[in-house]
Amino acid sequence: MTMKNSFPIISIIVPVFNVGKYLEKCIASIVGQTYTNLEIILIDDGSTDNSSQICDAWAERDSRIRVIHQKNSGVAAVRNKGLQAATGEYIGFVDSDDWITDTMYQDMMDGILLTNADAAFTGFNRVLENGEQIIRQYKMNGLCSRDEALLSVFGGGYFVTIWNKLFSRDICIKNGEIIRFEPFLCGEDEHWLIRVLQNTSKVYLIDRAAYFWQIRDKSITYDRYSFDRRLDVFRVKRANCILLQKENADVFQAAVVDQYINMYTTLVDAYLHKSRGACNLMKKHFKDYRKVYLTSKESLLSKCKKLLVESMIRLHLPIAIVKAIDHVSG
């Protein structure tokens, strides 16, 4: 399908850093979209492998591709650079080790134009290094309100990520300025997403997987050994709760449930790292949010199951729970 010039331009921002093994597949999946009115912005964040050369080679083959080379600055700075460079009426993000179906942007744009929505979400699957796919379940579909969209990212299966979504440029601006990514070590996209969604009125949800999230052992998201990143995830989720405190009660409760589980896992890590300051911080926020969490709509069994699973994942269940209970109640 060939798009006419009257169709809106979608600017797709792709941060690139040492992903030579995956980059060809990622770019090919974007270039091969049935929605062709694209501006593809590849930002090479100081790669030391062959990623830079791959970007440049693709730019020579497709005039829609722009490549920006820069010194390593981190993913938040890269995405901010992409937002500054983007000229499209709509903005999408793809991580450079992932890939998308050939109709993903066509499907999301069709939904937006049909319903006059501000954004569109699509489903995604996780892909392990061995190729196995973990299929997610989606509880919501079709046009929804802002509050329903916020609920969909916390508990509806669409997740607090930006790469399986398409945004109108208008909702990415507040007080005349583009909403920037904050320089968190991890979770910067989640906080940006919540701030952008607060500007929406309607969102179109597609309950089938069109995005494939490659899980890498050494990816930033799955670096289980970085306590600094764990603390930044806590800070992001705390900031989300503050932002949503005056929103719909169900939305606020969903954010608190998400944060409460995170506080527990952060407390476990704080004990392991002997960080008294972090332990005290978690204790304070347990107290602040305990009532909201315990009275939320999620079942007690579900809450306990989440805590148990997170404990077992970290293999610290016996001693961590004893210490956590002691500090939380002390």
The pLDDT value given to residue 324: 53
Please give the full DSSP string across 178-218, using - where no structure is assigned: EPPPP--SS-HHHHHHHHHHTT-SEEEEEEEEEEEEE--TT
What phi-psi label fits residue 46: left (phi over 0), alpha (psi between -120 and 50 degrees) or beta?
left
Q: For residue range 99-145, list pLDDT tens digits in order.
A: 999 999 999 999 999 999 999 999 999 998 888 898 888 989 999 99
Backbone phi and psi for residue 120, each to the nearest 5 degrees, phi listed first? -140, 145
Amino acid at 226: S
Confidence of residue 311 (pLDDT cuts 50, 70, 90): low
Q: Which of 48, 319, 203, 255 is nearest to 263 (CA)?
A: 255
The pLDDT value given to residue 294: 74
**Helices and strands: H and E segment counts in the chain:** 11, 12
* Inter-residue long-range contacts of 187-190, CB under 8 Å, 24+ positions, other chains counted: 187/232, 187/233, 187/235, 187/236, 187/237, 188/75, 188/76, 188/79, 188/236, 189/79, 189/93, 189/160, 189/161, 189/162, 189/163, 190/160, 190/161, 190/236, 190/237, 190/240
- What is the DSSP-derived secondary structure letter of residue 221? T
Contacts of residue 217, Cβ cutoff 8 Å, sequence gap at least 6 = 129
Structural domains in the chain, sorted by start: 10-214 (3.90.550.10), 227-329 (no CATH)
Q: For residue range 194-230, list pLDDT tens digits in order.
A: 999 999 999 999 999 999 999 876 554 444 447 888 8
Mean pLDDT (the chain) is 86
The pLDDT value given to residue 307: 58
Hey, what's the torsion of the CAs at 187, 188, 189, 193, to 10 degrees? 110
Amino acid at 266: T
- What is the DSSP-derived secondary structure letter of residue 122? E
Q: For residue range 56-75, list pLDDT tens digits in order.
A: 999 999 999 999 999 999 99
Average pLDDT over residues 17-22: 96
Distance CA 315, CA 33 (A): 43
Amino acid at 55: C
Backbone phi and psi for residue 242, each to the nearest 5 degrees, phi listed first? -65, -45
Pairing, β 119-127 against β 202-214: parallel
Backbone phi and psi for residue 45, each to the nearest 5 degrees, phi listed first? -95, 55
